[in-house]
Amino acid sequence: MSQSFQAAVIRQQGGPFAIEIARVKEMRPDELRVRIVATGMCHTDMIARDQVFPVPHPIVLGHEGSGVVEAVGDKVTSVVPGDHVVLTFLNCDHCSACHEGHPAFCENFNLHNFSGQRVDGSHAIEGDAGEALHDRFFGQSSFAQTTIAHERNVIKVRKDAPLDLLGPLGCGIQTGAGTVFNALKVAPGSSFVAFGGGAVGLSGVMAAAAIGATTIIAVDIVPSRLKLAKDIGATHVINSKEEDALARIHEITDGGAHFAMDSTGIPALIAQAVLALRPRGTAAVVGASKPGSKVEIDLIDLMQNCKRLIGVVEGDSVPHVLIPALVDLHMAGRFPFDKLVRFYPLDRINDAAEDSEKGVTLKPIIRMP
């Protein structure tokens, strides 16, 4: 009989997450089975639950999983049963972006991560009565005790690291840190501003500190987030409800920041991120804006000052390189992302979603029974 496990299933727009029994249907030779230990929750789960970002329902969401490899297909060579792994997004490995080493911009990204099925239309799991259940969300659907993933989206990590903490490295934290390391290439001694101090923005703050930026500014409107930003590496914080953020940034950096990252997705703040730059500075957009959003940019400022505004997905990372590096930085005490998280048991997953949406919890992590 196929293996059964508990999973949080979304059956209708807006939820709730319902804990149900699901079953493994089939594992292919290039796939592996992972016992999920814990899975982080982020906004992408909510917008998929609410179908702001349309995915087929019923579906098992969850895309920041970590766990232990239980079984591998005949063609899998990079991991063996017992290995500790972090799950990340799945890429196709044969488009030009993948060949050029930029899997986050895979031309088949949506097909592999948001279609709710394998590329050939099949599923690796099913409901307890054999009914159809969509899976493969970010190549994993990890709000579950078990997942069938592809060898490519499973990253082996060192066994002395706390496995239940590591899942968010697969998406939200990789996004903030990767944007700093790979896309912006924040330099030692430079200045960096994070507009938005959620999990993504604060990951950028920690990464900028780790790489040796010497002026690190966090802008937010929630005092507790600004306090946390200071604890993890920000040299300055600005509550933009109380202060003129742009004027303060120019004052602190003596003429503008070298680098900025927006994780709020608010067009007016993205325009400010560009204005906050010094000549030849770069600003990155990583927050998800409402579909159709537009930004007004001062083109003379952009041209005369040789500024750049770029968009970044998943930190433009190669996860097999970045995720183990972030684990090493964490273990060395230089990337304290444990300060961002709060753990919830699977049967409290709806409370985790509510706390995240209210801003009470920065990064919920769901522990599997």
CB of 345 to ligand NAD, least distance (A): 21
Which residue number, 103 or 124, has a Cβ lying nearer to ligand NAD?
Answer: 103
Query: Cβ distance 148 to 140 under 8 Å?
Result: no
Query: Cβ distance 53 to 136 under 8 Å?
Result: no
Which residue number, 106 or 237, has a Cβ lying nearer to Zn ion?
Answer: 106
Which residues lie across from 343 on neighbouring strands?
Answer: 365
State the binding partner of 98 from ligand NAD, Zn ion, none, CB within 5 to 8 A by kind. Zn ion
Which residue number, 222 or 295, has a Cβ lying nearer to ligand NAD?
Answer: 222
Question: Is 106 a residue that touches Zn ion (CB under 5 A)?
Answer: yes
Which residue number, 24 or 288, has a Cβ lying nearer to ligand NAD?
Answer: 288
CB of 159 to Zn ion, least distance (A): 30
Query: Cβ distance 176 to 199 under 8 Å?
Result: yes
Query: Cβ distance 79 to 31 under 8 Å?
Result: no
Question: Is 41 a residue that touches ligand NAD (CB under 6 A)?
Answer: no
Length of the chain, in residues: 369
Instruction: Kindly provide the b/e burial profile for residues 26-41, where b requires at least 16 CB atoms within 10 angstroms of the residue's own CB.
Output: ebbeebbbbebbbbbb
Question: Is 321 a residue that touches Zn ion (CB under 5 A)?
Answer: no
Neighbours of 102 (CB within 10 A): 18
Please pick, from the candidates 24, 288, 297, 325, the single residue that binds ligand NAD as defined by CB under 6 A: 288
Q: Report in angstroms the alpha-carbon separations of 91 from 124, 182, 238, 261.
A: 17, 18, 38, 25
Residue nearest to ligand NAD (CB): 198
Which residue number, 147 or 175, has a Cβ lying nearer to ligand NAD?
Answer: 175
CA torsion, ordered 196, 86, 17, 22, to nearest 10 deg: 170
Query: Cβ distance 152 to 91 under 8 Å?
Result: yes
Please pick, from the candidates 27, 98, 169, 365, the single residue that binds Zn ion as defined by CB under 5 A: 98
φ, ψ for residue 183, nearest 5 deg: -90, -50
Which residue number, 127 or 265, has a Cβ lying nearer to ligand NAD?
Answer: 265
CB of 93 to Zn ion, least distance (A): 6
Question: Is 265 a residue that touches ligand NAD (CB under 6 A)?
Answer: yes
Q: Which two tokens stand for residue 39?
A: 């899975």
Question: Is 266 a residue that touches ligand NAD (CB under 6 A)?
Answer: yes
Question: Is 42 a residue that touches ligand NAD (CB under 6 A)?
Answer: yes
d(C-alpha 208, C-alpha 288), whole Å: 21
d(C-alpha 13, C-alpha 55), whole Å: 10
Question: Is 264 a residue that touches ligand NAD (CB under 6 A)?
Answer: yes
Query: Cβ distance 186 to 211 under 8 Å?
Result: yes
Please pick, from the candidates 18, 19, 68, 95, the single residue that binds Zn ion as defined by CB under 5 A: 95
Residues binding Zn ion: what is the number (CB under 5 A)?
Answer: 5
Question: Is 92 a residue that touches Zn ion (CB under 5 A)?
Answer: yes
Which residue number, 92 or 325, has a Cβ lying nearer to Zn ion?
Answer: 92
Site for ligand NAD in 161-200 (CB under 6 A): 171-172, 175, 196-200
Question: Is 201 a residue that touches ligand NAD (CB under 6 A)?
Answer: yes
d(C-alpha 61, C-alpha 147), whole Å: 11
Only segment of 148-156, 228-236, 265-273, 323-331 that touches ligand NAD (CB under 6 A): 265-273
Site track 216-255 with ligand NAD (rule: CB under 6 A), x = hit = ---xxxx--x--------------x---------------
Which runs of E-coded beta strand occur in the chain?
4-10, 17-24, 31-40, 59-60, 64-72, 84-87, 125-127, 146-150, 154-156, 191-195, 215-220, 236-239, 257-262, 277-285, 308-311, 341-345, 363-367
State the binding partner of 317 from Zn ion, ligand NAD, none, CB within 5 to 8 A by kind. none
For binding to Zn ion (CB under 5 A), which residues are involved?
91-92, 95, 98, 106
For binding to ligand NAD (CB under 6 A), which residues are involved?
42-44, 171-172, 175, 196-201, 219-222, 225, 240, 263-266, 269, 286-288, 312-314, 362
